[in-house]
């Protein structure tokens, strides 16, 4: 018997497949398209205290095996999002609120408003505006502080989503764990840019998709070797093979991001593939592969 | 609206465009005017995203696309051969309500979604392009009860000049207008003093509202091409 | 008239196309294959004071639109490499010695031995063994120090090759400029990993190829906005379009790396494409596009 | 040795393998025993590197490959159709000097380079595979003057067992041996008390000595498969 359930903090996921933030809307849009039976949890598009317009177009570019986005965290604000709760509940899957804010206070207020969600995920890829604008997730002490402060106001499962754009990834991860995070989610996108060859216009953006898989996998592994809390691993996963690599690297669950834009039926496809892989090897669950890679260097 | 696998039935070069017929029985009966689909004609991931294409025509089991090669994605689509697999999600976007009589204004590849619209009414169709190789679909429009006015910039077919010039010159009746074409064309049409709707374009991620990639500026704030559009009241759109 | 020559320190390159280190051997291997008329300079495979065996196989993996390598800086040592000088000279193209060492002293000794090269490139992606093993290029003061010390022992054009695996890229770049570097070369590979799904064996490696282009482009731009010395931009360049993006971002010359493994005739192809691009726009040389992108955010 | 564009002339499934003929006039006359080429049958960059393939046979203008599907690259090659473009660099690797009479030992797809070797001499060929679908080229070997011994692990053709077992059992004469097949097979053959050469495999970047990706451990230190090999004196190789 194969047991695919995983526990992330207090959260029981029926499958180890999490829909990553920003690539599944509020889940609602995927009604009738995605088979939610294959989904362990839905992470909604990042939400802030007040509405955000996001960036002017263009917002999305294609790069070799990758997607570069500069959505700019567009969202209607937490109040409007809470109104969607009845609709968001329909798939019957645990809901994770992905939050972003520019101050510790706003993060706390947001978290306190998320009572009806099953878990909270802090997106630390945005800048801390009060303290010099440094991105929360680039600085272990900032990351630890915001995690600790949010921890005080909520008993919900608290996930911290890490940015890979830092040398101090492991220290940031440790700081979040010490400050009370129940789990870590990584990676968010890698900073890149694109240029239009005709107009010479240029845009910054975050890179995701298969291109980043080798980098993301390494980020997950480095964090796995440092912390004890479970990890939701993501970055370029397109099929079961990629997913299994993240489990072998140490992820307890995996996130599907960009692939949802191309194939909204990816959750079932990936889940079936994982089951097949486990069966063929007589393995009984994610725990039999989690972290089990063998370094050859 | 799920991701379906279809098969290319034909793919013919017509002037500067390709006319592609795809067998994909699940979609045609659901498709309405103004809608589009996301199309992928390759299995690899180098081109990660599917491409948005207008539904240009349909039969009971097939969709028809009119394609202009722009970059790698449309090039791959243009090279597809009968029998090859193709993946399509749709129909997507907002189905529009059409009056009985209306005017179509299409520039270049912009004629694609207008052909489909012509099935739902009667009226006048202004069709323009750089030259005669960018004029497509006049017989179909006529068969559907549209009087066709042609314009080419080089004068190789019909009026010599832009289709917008021709439109403002020949405007037969003050009817609602549905336009599709390059941005400057739509901007000029904003000046029409009647109801005017335009098919907009923007880079898309998903085509179904989950990525927020397809933002469009309107007087009422940011809208999303794939869920609020692709057809917008042109007077509401803010071009910049 | 199109003028494609560029100056990198004292080095006059006839074309802005540099063969990157590690992907063109010693140039010798490409005799009769690559059209050296299209090549501005050859950067030889990284060399150290004493021979290095490199890593046991496997050493190279393919990832989506990328190459992950763990060659391990295999080389026969500087003495043996110097013996190749007559052969290396045959293409008639300036030669850049790419050096790596574990101590400042070794870097100095190496540089002093490179009298017959046209320029020296310090590879700062390897660890400084004496001082805790931190990678030279991750620390501005270390990077500045090694650059300054090497500067003292050579009058040759001194290029410093930067690693992108750091938050402090701009500071490292500035430190190298201040310490006397004539030019900077970037990026080296991004740290990643790969796992074999059958054996669960895992290897660390450096990611290169088209996958990294959006990241490398951004790295080049960030450095361009900080320093005045010329940049050799590289990372995922496969064709003229990619090359032009690097010029627009601020590179004075561009490096061809992984593409050489797939298409050793890339230099001519890319050069022809650059010329065509310039001609079509009535531009006269790289200076007309260098750095000229327009930020839209 | 430059990068050349060729055209697939035929590509036929033969048991578990594909037999591909490629028209590429510049290469055949240069190709010698023991050499290989780097092959790419796709234009995109998702699969970035070309794949090493042995020269299995040649005519005046064509190269022949025997291909076993392993991953995406060989799968794409196996699906190629006559007329399609293919890019090849080569011949690469060290040409070997063959005696007049020698023994070939091939396991599975390992038969590929041995077929080409059979053109340069006479002798005995031991050919093995998991089952009869992995046996290829016996007629060609016989035509070239080789006495053929067959082994399949399931006994579906010839001796039931491994080709190495058969070889040690039937060894007709103490002649130099050229072997190609899976690593365990080559390891076992190291025990042969005569001259023994093996075709090794390692992941390659460039195939021409510029990347140092193809390291092979030998008693004499690290060697490079693409420039020092692919054929090595098996007694010198360190398997680990
Ligand atoms: C709703 C809608 C309907 C469309 N209908 C048609 C049609 O019927 N026939 C037709 O030929 N074209 C149509 N287009 C335009 C077509 O989608 C683009 O030309 C195509 O996506 C370009 O892809 P590419 O790989 O060839 O070009 P590239 O420039 O290489 O594409 C790179 C990326 O940018 C995106 N992109 C580039 N240009 C556009 C654009 N103008 N609009 C949207 N995304 C773009 C691509 O989708 C891709 O993600 C439509 C666009 C939209 C938004
Ligand atoms: C000198 C030489 C000659 C060869 N001759 C033949 C032949 O005639 N017929 C044949 O079918 N196969 C041959 N092979 C093996 C063939 O090159 C691999 O099976 C093929 O590269 C696998 O590519 P893939 O994309 O299908 O598999 P994947 O496993 O997806 O390949 C991923 C990467 O690993 C490399 N790789 C994987 N397996 C091998 C391997 N065994 N050897 C080298 N690189 C590998 C690939 O080249 C690619 O870069 C030869 C290998 C070498 C080194
Ligand atoms: C269009 C888009 C929007 C995203 N929005 C968010 C977001 O709002 N909050 C967040 O934490 N991550 C966001 N992400 C990051 C993804 O959740 C994920 O971490 C990243 O894309 C890497 O995974 P992938 O390679 O599978 O896409 C977004 C990614 C994309 C492509
Ligand atoms: C196989 C291989 C070997 C390399 N060896 C070196 C080296 O010895 N010294 C060095 O500075 N960079 C080395 N590099 C890095 C390249 O010079 C280049 O900086 C990097 O690959 C990014 O460019 P690309 O994406 O065009 O390959 C190597 C890269 C590859 C792929
Ligand atoms: S394209 Fe994704 S929301 Fe419109
Ligand atoms: S494959 Fe590049 S050196 Fe051998």
Give the pLDDT confidence score for residue D240 in this predicted structure: 78
Q: Is residue C297 predicted with pLDDT exceeding 90?
A: no
Measure Cα distances from B119 to B61, B103, B113, B135 in Å: 17, 13, 11, 19
Q: Is residue C76 included in any domain, yes or no?
A: yes
Residue C296 counted as domain residue: no
Ligand nearest to the CA of D216: 6
Whether ligand 1 lies within 6 angstroms of the CB of B37 is answered as no
C293 occurs within a structural domain:
no
Q: List the single residue in C64, C195, C294 with the smallest CB-CB distance to A210.
A: C64
pLDDT for the residue D133: 95
* Number of structural domains chain C divides into: 1
* pLDDT range class, residue D1, cuts 50, 70, 90: low
Output the CA torsion sign for D70, D76, D82, D83: negative
Cβ–Cβ contact B81 with A under 8 A: no
Are the C-beta atoms of residues D121 and D100 closer than 8 Å to each other?
yes
Report the distance separating Cα A264 and Cα A30, nearest Å. 7
**Range of weakest confidence among A110-119, A132-141, B55-64, B107-116:** A132-141
Kindly state the average pLDDT of the residues A4-13.
95
CA of D69 to the centre of ligand 2 (A): 9
Measure in Å the smallest separation between the Cα of A150 and chain D Cα atoms: 42
Beta bridge partners, D13, equal: D18
Regarding beta strands C253-256 and A190-195, do their DSSP bridges make them parallel or antiparallel, or are they unpaired?
Answer: unpaired
Q: Is residue C294 part of a domain?
A: no
Question: What are the tokens at A215?
Answer: 């980098």
Q: Which residues of C touch D2 (CB under 8 A)?
A: 32-33, 264-265
Choose, out of D46, D71, D72, D215, the residue to mutate when testing the contact with A (most A CBs < 10 Å): D46
CB atoms under 10 Å from CB of D79, counted, come to: 12
Tell me whether C237 touches chain A (CB under 8 Å).
Answer: no
Is the CB of residue C153 less than 8 Å away from at least one CB of chain A? no
Domain that holds residue C181: 6-288
Q: Establish if C33 touches chain A: CB-CB under 8 angstroms.
A: no
pLDDT 10s digits, C168-213: 999 999 999 999 999 999 999 999 999 999 999 999 999 999 999 9
What number is the average pLDDT over the span A115-143? 90
- CA A134 to ligand 6 centroid distance, Å: 44
The mean predicted confidence, pLDDT, of chain B is: 95
Query: Cβ of D48 and C69 within 8 Å?
Result: no
Residue C96, SS3 per DSSP: strand
Using an 8 Å CB-CB cutoff, list chain A residues near C192: 213-215, 217-218
HSE-up (13 A, CA, CB side) for residue D50 = 27
At residue D2, the pLDDT reads 87
Nearest chain B residue (CA) to C65: B46
Confidence band, pLDDT 50/70/90 cuts, at residue D214: very high
Closest chain C C-alpha to D180 CA, distance in angstroms: 19
* Residue C297 resides in a domain: no
pLDDT category at C126 given cuts 50, 70, 90 is: confident
Q: What is the pLDDT of residue C281?
A: 97
| CATH label of the domain that carries residue C11 | 3.20.20.70
Ligand 6 mutation pick, D52, D210, D223, max ligand atoms within 8 A of CB:
D210
Which chain C residues are Cβ-neighbours of B43 within 8 angstroms?
Answer: none
Query: Does the CB atom of residue B203 touch ligand 1 within 6 A?
Result: yes
Q: Is C24 a catalytic residue?
A: no
Percent of chain A having pLDDT more than 90? 96
Stretch A48-71: mean pLDDT: 96
Q: Which ligand is nearest to the CA of D207?
A: 6
- Indicate whether A132 pLDDT > 80: no
Rounded distance between C-alpha atoms, residue D84 and residue D81, angstroms: 6
What is the pLDDT averaged over residues C257-277? 97
DSSP 8-class letter at A52: B
- pLDDT band at residue A47 under the 50/70/90 scheme: very high
pLDDT in tens, D43-94: 999 999 999 999 999 999 999 999 999 999 999 999 999 999 999 999 999 9
Q: Is B70 in the pocket of ligand 1 (CB under 6 A)?
A: yes
pLDDT band at A154 (very low <50, low <70, confident <90, very high): very high
- Chain C residues with CB under 8 Å of B203 CB are none
Q: Which residues 18-77 of A have a C-beta within 8 angstroms of D? A: 64-65
How near does any CA of chain C get to the CA of B47, in Å?
10
Pocket test for ligand 4, best of C258, C259, C261, C266 (most atoms within 8 A of CB): C258
Strand partners for B58: B63
H-assigned helices in chain C: 78-83, 85-89, 104-113, 140-153, 169-178, 213-224, 240-249, 259-262, 266-280
Say if A190 falls within a structural domain: yes
D38 forms beta bridges with D52, D89
pLDDT reported for residue C293: 98
- What does DSSP assign to residue D237? B
Q: What is the pLDDT of residue B1?
A: 66
Does A114 reside within a domain? yes
Determine the distance separating the centroid of ligand 1 and the alpha carbon of B189, expressed in angstroms.
22
- The answer to whether position A293 is within a domain reads no
Is the model's pLDDT at D21 over the cut of 90? yes
Is C297's Cβ below 8 Å from some Cβ in B? no
């Amino acid at each position: 018997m194969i047991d695919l359930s995983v526990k992330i903090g207090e959260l029981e996921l029926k499958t180890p497949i999490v829909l990553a933030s920003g690539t599944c809307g509020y889940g609602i849009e995927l009604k009738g398209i995605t088979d939610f039976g294959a989904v362990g949890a839905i992470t909604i598009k990042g939400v802030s205290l007040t509405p955000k317009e996001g960036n002017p177009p263009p917002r999305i570019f294609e790069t070799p095996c990758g997607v570069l986005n500069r959505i700019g965290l567009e969202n209607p604000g937490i109040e409007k999002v809470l109104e969607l709760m009845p609709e968001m509940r329909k798939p019957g899957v645990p809901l994770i609120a992905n939050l972003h804010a520019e101050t510790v206070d706003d993060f706390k207020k947001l978290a306190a408003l998320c009572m009806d969600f099953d878990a909270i995920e802090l997106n630390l890829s945005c800048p801390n505006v009060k303290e010099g604008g440094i991105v929360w997730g680039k600085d272990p002490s900032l990351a630890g502080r915001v995690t600790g402060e949010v921890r005080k106001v909520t008993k919900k499962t608290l996930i911290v989503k890490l940015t890979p754009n830092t040398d101090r990834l492991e220290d940031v991860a440790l700081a979040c764990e010490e400050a009370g995070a129940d789990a870590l989610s990584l990676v968010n996108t890698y900073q890149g840019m694109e240029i239009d060859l005709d107009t010479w216009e240029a845009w910054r953006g975050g890179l995701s998709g298969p291109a980043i898989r080798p980098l993301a996998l390494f980020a997950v592994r480095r964090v796995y070797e440092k912390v004890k809390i479970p990890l939701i691993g993501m970055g370029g996963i397109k099929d079961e093979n990629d997913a299994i690599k993240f489990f072998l690297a140490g992820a307890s669950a995996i996130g599907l991001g960009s692939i949802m834009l191309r194939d909204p039926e990816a959750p079932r496809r990936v889940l079936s593939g994982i089951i097949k892989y486990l069966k063929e090897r007589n393995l009984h669950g994610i725990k039999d592969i989690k972290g089990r890679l063998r370094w050859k260097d | 609206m799920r991701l379906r696998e279809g098969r290319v039935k034909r793919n013919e070069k017509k002037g500067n465009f390709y006319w592609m017929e795809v067998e994909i029985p699940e979609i045609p009966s659901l498709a309405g005017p103004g809608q589009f689909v996301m199309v992928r004609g390759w299995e690899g991931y180098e081109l990660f995203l599917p491409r948005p294409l207008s539904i240009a025509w349909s039969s009971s089991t097939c969709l028809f696309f009119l394609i202009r090669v722009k970059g790698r994605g449309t090039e791959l689509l243009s090279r597809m051969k009968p029998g090859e697999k193709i993946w399509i999600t749709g129909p997507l976007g907002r189905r529009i309500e059409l009056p009985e009589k209306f005017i179509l204004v299409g520039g270049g590849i912009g004629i694609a979604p207008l052909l489909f619209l012509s099935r739902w009414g009667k009226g006048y169709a202004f069709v323009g392009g750089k030259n005669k190789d960018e004029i497509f679909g006049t017989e179909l429009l006529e068969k559907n009860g549209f009087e066709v006015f042609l314009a080419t910039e080089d004068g190789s077919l019909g009026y010599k000049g832009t289709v917008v010039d021709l439109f403002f010159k020949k405007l037969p009746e003050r009817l609602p207008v549905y336009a599709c074409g390059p941005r400057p064309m739509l901007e000029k049409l904003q000046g029409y003093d009647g109801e005017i709707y335009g098919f907009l374009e923007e880079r898309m991620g998903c085509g179904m509202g989950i990525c927020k990639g397809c933002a469009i500026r309107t007087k009422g704030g940011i809208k999303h091409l794939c869920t609020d559009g692709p057809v917008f009241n042109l007077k509401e759109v803010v071009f910049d």
